[in-house]
Amino acid sequence: MAGNYKIAVIGGDGIGPEVLEAALEVVDVVGVKLDTTMYDLGAAHYLRTGEVLPDDVLSTLKEFDAIMLGAVGPPIGSVDVPDGLLERGLLLKLRFDLDLYVNLRPFTGIPGSIATGHDMVVIRENTEGPYAGEGGILRKGTDNEVATQGSVNTRYGVERCVRAAFDIAAQRPAQRISLVHKTNVLTYSGDLWKRVFDEVAADFSQVERSYSHVDAACIYLVEDPGRYDVIVTDNLFGDILTDLAGSVFGGIGFAASANLNLSRNGPSLFEPVHGAAHDIAGTGRANPVAAIRSAAMMLDYLGEKDAASRMSDAVLGYLREYDPAQPVQHTADTTREIVRRLQ
């Protein structure tokens, strides 16, 4: 067995633990040995203990080779967990503190979806933009209340993300990259993004580049997803576009992601794009594909190239032959189907 990587596993809430279990099973089948440590974090943990992500746990997480995360979040409408507490205190804290500056989200159009047979990648900046938390509320609760929420865009942050996106585009057969922003309205941040994009492009003359405003990109994604090969965009646009892309390419249950610290001075984090889906938790109906594909991305990032490509080929084979006319496959069936392709 190759490996023996130290992996922190945060199953989290709802279907999170179930889909990670499926992913770990497939990793085992491809023969990579993981030394896993489970961390109990998320909404249920918070409600039991009042803790979100204690500092000592965060420091411990920094010692791992990688982190696998299932999903965190309370059931919709839960009044017991304040809005944003887990998002800011756990997931975004990990993205920021571990400097996971690239959020890599690949999409493969399953048969029957609008994007059948097409694939693309979104590179979402993951540590800045409106997510940085700049702003505040003045005179809260009064008639004169003021709320501001800024967007932080540093040349350093934009450039390292754009460069990573060009690197990825240069390795793909189509070699096409599109910047998505809103330069016609966000004339400060958009200007910085566009200039950096054009500057970095000079080092990648073989990569064909284009630009779309984010509103138009939503139309193109739905009407002509083949227009895009690699999209690079800011944190909030990337969040929204990748939910849209998830749906266009067949469903959010297939959408994987890698939160990467490409300077490799700490662990990267791998998680499905979907949330906790409390409504189907425990029913065996969760789609494990996003988690399995995220785990394949983790193996690739850890340098287990052979195992990673066998695992992602098995997932892609499964997706290519996916029959939308069949009754919905359940967690165990899907996992078995992917494992069968590895034997």
- Tell me which of Mn ion, ligand IPM, none is bound by residue 87, counting a contact when its beta carbon lies within the kind-specific cut-off of 5 to 8 angstroms: ligand IPM
Residue 239 contacts Mn ion per CB under 5 A: yes
137: three-class secondary structure by DSSP: strand
In terms of DSSP H, where are the helices of the chain? 16-29, 43-49, 55-61, 85-86, 92-97, 155-170, 189-201, 214-223, 235-248, 289-302, 305-320, 331-340
In terms of DSSP H, where are the helices of 179-304? 189-201, 214-223, 235-248, 289-302
Least spacing, CB of residue 242 vs Mn ion, in Å: 6
Structural tokens at position 85 = 């507490």
Site string for ligand IPM, 254-293 (x = CB under 6 A): -------------------x--------------------
Least spacing, CB of residue 237 vs Mn ion, in Å: 11
Interatomic CA distance for residues 118 and 147, integer angstroms: 42
| Amino acid occupying residue 175 | Q
Nearer to ligand IPM, 116 or 247 (CB): 247
Nearer to Mn ion, 237 or 318 (CB): 237
Question: By Cβ distance, which residue is nearest to ligand IPM?
Answer: 87
Residue 91 contacts ligand IPM per CB under 6 A: yes
| Amino acid occupying residue 9 | V
Nearer to ligand IPM, 105 or 160 (CB): 105
Interatomic CA distance for residues 266 and 35, integer angstroms: 17
Nearer to Mn ion, 22 or 92 (CB): 92
131 is catalytic: yes
- Given the residues 13, 65, 234, 239, select the one marked as catalytic: 239
What are the residue numbers of the active site?
Answer: 131, 182, 215, 239, 243
